[in-house]
Structure 1
Amino acid sequence: MSLLIAGLLWSASPVLAAKDSGNEKSKSNENQSRSEGRHDDDHDGDKGLRHLVEQLQQQIQDLQAQINNIQLTPGPQGPQGPAGPVGPQGPAGADGSSDLTQVNADISELQTRFSGVTRTGDDLRFTGMNMQIVNGSGDTDGAVNGLGNLIVGYNEVSSYLTSNKTGSHNLIVGRGANYSSYGAIVAGLDNESSNAYASVTGGRFNQASGLYSSISGGNGNFAWGSDGSVSGGFRNNASGQYSSVSGGFRNNASGQSSSVTGGFSNTAYVIGSAINGGGGNTATGSYSSILGGMGNTASAYSSSVSGGNYNTASANYSSVTGGFRNLARDNCSTVTGGYFLSTYGIYDTIP
């Protein structure tokens, strides 16, 4: 503000200087001329000077008022200044020699632990060691918790069965596997193991629910009996203990140690019964057998039907070799062939 006022006064200094110069000239010429004109000129000069000073004073007052009305507001932030000098170094830390010793010991222990483990590209190799996976229960057949399994794949949820992946110590290969117990191999698509040591090693939609049971392949097969097995086929069931179905379609081995080798819709109902093939055959006698044919029945102890259609061996140790609708109804009787033939006494042979 003081600089502004000083500037205004400086701008007026030529006028004042001119005034002083005029006065000196007036004094020097006073003796030469004393006319009334000189007096009038001086009076007019003084009047103009006062008017100029008044204008400057008014301008100063206006500037002062403007300065008083200015509100100081901060402008935009300027650019960041240069970084300051680096500060002094801090004090030294505590002695870390003990920590370093522990770190070195940990590194040495890890090197020993992973000795024999190498990786080459995408291959990880374990040399001179076994890989052991446990669920933490302390026993292979202990309480299951869904852990301790070796899973090859993404362990997807089954699209066919309600998901159950609560088992332990199983080998899982494939998609959509269920495993609710332990000691099983489950491979293939949407297969299930629901009992201890029950395995499904291939196929799809197969279920091994018997203790120690197994299914090797096929589609929609069941191994319900303990130690039962299904080798393949479609919709076969080994429901008896130690029973087996080798293949075919909708065959059932429901008796203990019974078997169906193949064919379709055959049933070996009782202990030791067997059907080797054909369709719609039924072995309901203990240790009875049907070798083939259609609609044949071996309903007595150690009875047998070798073939043909709709033949029946209904007495102990009786047999029908073949033919159509033949009946061996006496113990130790035999029908060797023909049609609509029947035995009439023990040891009878027809024809």
Structure 2
Amino acid sequence: MNSALVVAVATSAAACSAALVWYNLRASATKLAKDDLKALAKIEREGRVRLQIALGAAQDRIKLLEAASSSTSLDTIPLVTFPTIGVISSPYSTRNGTPRQPSLVDSSLAKLVLHKNIPHTTLVSLAEFSHAWVLFHFHQNTNVHKNKIKGTIKPPRLNGQSVGVLATRSPHRPAPLGLSLAKIVEVNVAKGYVLFQGLDLVHATPVVDIKPYVAFSDAPTHQFAPAWVGKEHAEADEPLKISQVVFASPEAQDSLRNAHNVCKSTRRRKTAIELYADFDQFTAFVKENLSLDMRSTRERADPKFDTYRVTLCDVMVHYKVVNTDGDGPEIHIVRGEVLTDEWQQPLNETTEVPDEETTEVDENTE
């Protein structure tokens, strides 16, 4: 059954690509056709990403079955399965816009809600620590269907230079596990959740484990790292530096306020909007995120878009990058609106964080 799913997904993806190529050859001569092609390309890409995520999940299950039934040898890559302890309620609705590292956005709040089968007493005494390590699964990767592991990547701060993937914190790695250090804001043993500050996780990320940060062993006395990941690089030749983030007009601020109010009243359980109930607090959070240049290396070098967007708590923020003669480009927020199906980016199967009192998570959806 899983093999049939893989074949069906691959066939569907091939059919979508073939249809796009045929339409391109037939109708590229006119402007109307080009507009249609853009719309078709958007549909094809979103469909392809959804298929890649579904295919990756199916292949993970098939590999587990094959590993269980095959003989053990040194040439066999062992596969290990882990239960998860809970999921993250995060303001980052999609992968795009999620910080590349933890602690980059101090105003970022995220809540870890334990699964119902995890005793709440596991959190006893955690509040005595200031920080914790969060071990999680990169559940929205789109490269898991590929058989060949990519050895190098190009980090945004290196402007095109390649380094080994294991020398980075990229989500696209041989084992899609992430590790982030976050500040503990609140531990609620009775309700079974932990509130963190500074996490860089997308909404509904499965959490494998958390461990308290212990300074005497976790902070080495003698340590070093390349300059491009250090603070000295950020204060000097920082390619991602933004000088300021402002509203393009009073109407832009009003539209963001309206979208925030709508999400508060209609989407509380589907997003982390409850973490930013105050509009001024939400605005500060939005601006702090936009102060990190989210564009790819290629887009920064050769911009192809006039307006960009990022989705936070299901509020879609549209903005422009304005180059100035000052200290880096500026970000101008042009409008905010509630995320609609038209703009919905592909998500994994588990997209809603459970209410800790009424909803149970089906862990088999991962």
TM-score range, shorter chain: under 0.3
Q: Which has the higher contact order (CA 8 A, sep 6+)?
A: 2
- Bigger fraction of residues in helix: 2
TM-score w.r.t. the length of structure 1 is 0.15
Bigger Rg, structure 1 or 2: 1
